[in-house]
Amino acid sequence: MVKKVKMKGVDRISSLPDSILSHILSSLSTKAAVRTSVLSTRWRNLFTLVSNLNFEFDEQHIHWRKRHKRSTVKSFMCFVDRLLFFHTVNVDKFRLACGKRVDSDRIYGWISAALRRGVKHLDINITLDKFTLPGALFTCRTLVTLKLDSGFVLHVPKAVHFPYLETLHLKSVEFFNDDSVSSLFSGCISLQDVVIEKCNMENISNFNISHHFLKKLTILYSFDCSNCWLMIDTPNLVYFKYKDHVAAGYSLENLASTVSADIQFLIEDEDLHDVTAFFKGICIVRSLILSLDSLKLLLGCESIPVFSTMVELKIFKIWSENHWWSSSMDEGLETLLSRSPELEKLSFPQVVLSSRPEQVPSCLLFKLKAIEILNFKDDEDCIRKAKYILKNGGALENFTMHTYLCEGKRLKMSKVLLASPMKSNHCNFLIL
């Protein structure tokens, strides 16, 4: 018979190997990891083995007197200095977030220290007016992820070499000139995911994203892009999201591999812009999301392209659209449906279906399996639209309508529509 022996007062965690303990500490905040040094002699220097470093100093939440502010900023800088001085291993993740009160020379040195330690994932969020990134950053062979969130001008040298960089996120960056953009993307030979958010395009005439391996591209809320041409040449792009103002012009080439596109044009006036080249570039997608303004721009193109491979389409209203849909629109969703022969899944606000064309779109006759109508009302126009769909939807399997009506009115509407002719014999009908 084996006796169970209870070992009281034994610190089993401290007996673990350094590699395991450093891995545990890497899951904590950097400050918490350093605080463990007071636990015992065993823990005194373990924080120097942590591979994930996160330094964050939020000046907005400091409400003390100026002297205390200076003291707090100095304490933060000394803390980062000491930790990096004693740090002995390579850095996997390095994040730095601080404001204008932190000395720029210190920031330059901290980033340089991370680069010397073979950092793989670098996340810099600073708000300095004038700051130059270390030149060693642009030839860092270890970087896999680079995220820059800052208000300074990004001046990229010609000699850029990121052999393993896969993810590039740029936010609130002002590009120095066209050459900075082209140098940056040409030096990232393994790039797969790019996010350009709230960047200033004032100095750019051609924003050229040309990359053979890029798979995901997101462009959001650019500033001063009205005089800038957007040029995209990405033969292996799978996902494309564009939520931005209309640029001066577009050149979208080699996007045949794009599976999904989310297009949300931000329009501040009622004038329609010519974005024909933009939509011709993405017309080979399988799944397309469009805001109401984007649909309006598409229908206003000189020549609406045929979306020959699109099987899923979603139309929706975004918060920044200060209008709904004009009832006087000559063309509505029905025009786009006539150019989407393979469409199988459709979601849209009922108001964008402006008319019921005599020549029924072929996708409604033979392909559409699921239709979802948003903001459905109990007026005659809405009822006629629903009857039109039921009468011609030969492949329809699911027909869902979302409404704000009470239960009694929904039941009454349901009886009316169920009594109307249906082309499909296996359609599930639902009013929510």
Q: Are 110 and 80 in contact (CB under 8 A)?
A: yes
Q: Long-range contacts of range 62-70, CB-CB < 8 Å, 24 or more positions apart?
A: 69/101
| Distance in angstroms (rounded) separating the CA atoms of residues 155 and 181 | 9
Q: What is this structure's pTM?
A: 0.86
What are the residues whose beta carbons fall under 8 Å from the beta carbon of 179, sequence distance 6 or more? 156, 158
Tokens linked to 178: 């066209």
The C-alpha atoms of residue 80 and residue 390 are separated, in whole angstroms, by: 66
Q: Three-state SS for 197?
A: strand
DSSP 45-85: TGGGG-SEEEEE--GGG--S-HHHHHHHHHHHHHHHHHHHH
Q: Report the pLDDT value the prediction gives residue 37, as an integer from 0 to 100.
A: 41
Burial of 310 from C-beta contacts in 10 A (0-12 / 13-18 / 19+): buried
CA 256/CA 339 separation, integer angstroms: 17
Domain boundaries, the chain: 287-432
Consecutive 10-residue runs of the chain (432 residues): their mean pLDDT?
A: 46 54 54 48 52 78 51 84 81 89 92 95 90 93 96 89 97 93 94 96 94 96 91 97 95 94 87 87 97 92 94 86 56 92 95 87 95 86 88 91 82 82 85 84
The confidence score (pLDDT) of residue 407 equals: 82
How many Å apart are CA 32 and CA 56, to the nearest integer? Answer: 13
Cα–Cα distance measured from residue 271 to residue 293, given in angstroms and rounded to the nearest whole number: 11
How many alpha carbons fall within 13 Å on the CB side of residue 384? Answer: 9
Give me the phi and psi of 264, to 5 degrees please. -135, 85
Q: Are 371 and 343 in contact (CB under 8 A)?
A: no
SS (H, E, C) 31-50: HHHHHHHHCCHHHCCHHHHC
Tell me, what amino acid is at 29?
S
